[in-house]
Amino acid sequence: MSKVLNVAIAGLGTVGAEVARQLIENADHFTHQSGRAVRIVAVSARDAEKARGFSMAGVDFCADALALASREDVDVVLELIGGEAGVAYDLVLGALKNGRHVITANKALLAHHGHALAQMAEEAGLTLAAEASVAGGIPVIKMLKESLAGNQITRITGILNGTCNYILSVMQHEHREFADVLAEAQKLGYAEADPSFDIDGIDAAHKLAILAAMGFGTAPALDAVAVRGIRDITRMDMENARDLGCTIRLLGEVERGDSGAISAEIRPILLPLESGLAKIDGALNAVSFAGAPIGAVTVVGPGAGAGATASAVLADVVDLAMGRHSPLFGVPAKSLKQGNSKTTNLSAPTPAHPPGRMEKHFIRLKVYDRPGVLADITAILRGHDISVESINQPSRAEDGVNGAVPVILTTHEVKPKAVAAATAEMAELEAVLAEPVIFPIYHGA
């Protein structure tokens, strides 16, 4: 049998502890799977004394995580700390400089520094693997690098954040307000005490930047991902979507347009109830790939949590133990196109949409309930060549004729820029009491 693979784990939170438990309690399984023993030699965590439900006898504890990078008895460092900078970045950098392989679940790190780190690993003949960085237990990175490697990818679409998907699906099925469901998600552990990273779309943007790099051969370009979260979605929005035969989900989309330019965005969008992505409920993730010759394929599964994420980390451990090695982004880092390439157009977050894209839109306005308001609004739409498909005033105000009421509009297919310009003009009307809320209606398959 070949030499033992010696592992160091930095971070024993929910995921790190589960990875350690699996490697210790199921050691025979990993030996059978990989043909060599896999052994944890050292760990680092904030609390050395915390009870974790399994024995780590014989495993060294390092108070300083950075010390793991230079230990002579370590072959691979598992970075499960998180964050784009600080200890996580310093540890990965130190490990690669010291000739250690690295496995990480850190999407923020890769979205910001993945290109440089991948180049460093490849120049040193080391593995930098990150299956767990996107979509938890769904093997989307392996699919892009291996199963779909023979395809020309044209589009990747996904529900990439379990927290947002849980909130939106509960709002849909239980007819509750955003703030109420968010509070419940925090109690259940689906959302952090400060949920901004999730509900503002940043977490999903990190993941989409990685998928874009792998699918289209570009260096990760987080700044090129247009991002909008779900804070402004109301129960009324969800009910109005249902009246249109739709629901609302936070969707990540990256695609190559006819000109070769690539666009990437995270946004809430109305999905027809009969579509596959509309049926993804709770904390599940789903990712769809379109390309040639495959056509389209969708994968669904748990996107977060101890078991799902640990499963992805352990898959990378087995690959390394077996000697399976491939570049982080599927192709050598030196061949990745830069964001300012003429062929990628990923150097800035705007325009987010392919130039020729036409979409239907849902527009919610809060206006004074008085004569002439709808005429002013429709005049603005006509001035921007926007055709209205439907218009609805769901309810009248309780405080009299001059009270505030919602107005719901849907448009026929139009360029997103025209809708943005029209709603900006509407916001200047004296009768419009709040910024218009706009959701695209899904144009995909």
Where the chain has pLDDT below 50, the residues are 1, 340-351, 398-401, 445
- Please write the tens of the pLDDT for every residue from 104-118: 999 999 999 999 999
- Give pTM, 2 decimals: 0.91
To the question of domain 140-302 being in CATH 3.30.360.10, the answer is yes
As annotated, the residues of the chain forming the CATH 3.30.360.10 domain(s) are 140-302
In the prediction, which pLDDT does 184 show? 95
pLDDT of 17 reads 96
Write the secondary structure of the chain as one string of H (helix), E (strand) and C (coil).
CCCCEEEEEECCCHHHHHHHHHHHHCHHHHHHHHCCCEEEEEEECCCCCCCCCCCCCCCEECCCHHHHHHCCCCCEEEECCCCCCHHHHHHHHHHHHCCCEEEECCHHHHHHHHHHHHHHHHHCCCCEECHHHCCCCCCHHHHHHHHCCCCEEEEEEEECCHHHHHHHHHHHHHCCCHHHHHHHHHHHCCCCCCCHHHHCCHHHHHHHHHHHHHHHCECCCHHHEEECCCCCCCHHHHHHHHHCCEEEEEEEEEEECCCCCEEEEEEEEEEECCCCHHHCCCCEEEEEEEEECCEEEEEEEECCCHHHHHHHHHHHHHHHHHCCCCCCCCCCHHHCECCCCCCCCCCCCCCCCCCCCCEEEEEEEEEECCCCHHHHHHHHHHHCCCCEEEEECCCCCCCCCCCEEEEEEEECCECHHHHHHHHHHHHCCCCECCCCEEEEECCCC
Which residues, at least 6 apart from 49, have a Cβ–Cβ distance to it below 8 Å? none
Contact 407, 367 (CB under 8 A): yes
What burial letters (b/e) apply to 361-376, b meaning 16+ CB within 10 Å? bbbbbebbbeeebeee
**How much is the pLDDT for 340?**
38
For the chain, give the number of residues: 445
Tell me the fold of 360-441.
Alpha-Beta Plaits (3.30.70)
CA distance 209 to 201: 12
User: What's residue 171's pLDDT?
Assistant: 98
Query: What is the pLDDT, as a whole number, of residue 409?
Result: 94
Options 3.30.300.30, 3.30.1490.20, 3.40.50.720, 1.20.1440.60; CATH for 5-104 is: 3.40.50.720
Distance in angstroms (rounded) separating the CA atoms of residues 419 and 259: 23
Domain with CATH 3.40.50.720 in the chain: 5-104
Q: How far apart are CA 92 and CA 78, in angstroms?
A: 9
pLDDT at 435: 92
Render pLDDT for 186-234 as a digit per residue (tens, 0 to 9).
998 889 999 999 999 999 999 999 999 999 999 999 999 999 999 999 9
Which pLDDT score, from 0 to 100, does residue 284 have?
Answer: 95
- Please give the Cα distance from 400 to 139 (Å, whole number): 56
- Look at residue 2 in the predicted model and tell me its pLDDT: 63
Whether 334 is catalytic: no
Question: Where do you find CATH 3.30.70.260 in the chain?
Answer: 360-441
Buried/exposed code over 329-352 (b: 16+ C-beta within 10 A; e: otherwise): bbbebeebbebebeebbbeebebb
Question: Which candidate in 207, 337, 342, 366 is catalytic?
Answer: 207
Distance of CA 71 to the CA centre of its chain: 34
Q: What pLDDT score was predicted for residue 357? A: 77
